Amino acid sequence: MGQSLLNTALITSIILLIVAGSFYNLQKYIPINNDKIIHFFAYFILSILLTPYASSINIFIFLFLMGGSIEIIQPLAGRKCCIYDQLANTSGIISSILLVHLWGVFFGNH
């Protein structure tokens, strides 16, 4: 129970951080100059954390739509919609799904 609650809190925190970072310039607080790396790892980590709760296809659809929706809405908040941000998001999602799948192939699914 405690581990599940901690994972849920972590997932919620990352989603809120992604949303906040997408509408407010939080990059000045992060020592990484290329925001595509931030996009990649944010969606990579979130995708891995969601693995125990949903299938790979559902994780992909949810996170792809979440990232795409954020990109489409960003101009309403004075930010730019960037296809490369969505590409970095999608690359992170796909990479984590592949990693989890390969982990299962080589080390078993528990």
By the 8 A CB rule, do 27 and 38 touch? yes
**In the prediction, which pLDDT does 110 show?**
52
Cα gap 62→45, rounded to integer Å: 14
Task: Report in angstroms the alpha-carbon separations of 48 from 23, 60, 76.
Answer: 24, 11, 30
Cα gap 99→93, rounded to integer Å: 10
- Tell how far CA 65 is from the center of its chain: 11
> What does the pLDDT look like over 20-54, one tens digit per residue?
888 877 667 777 778 899 999 999 999 999 998 99
Hey, what amino acid is at 34?
N
Whether the model clears a pTM of 0.85, i.e. scores above it, the answer is: yes
pLDDT band at 101 (very low <50, low <70, confident <90, very high): very high
Average pLDDT for the chain: 90
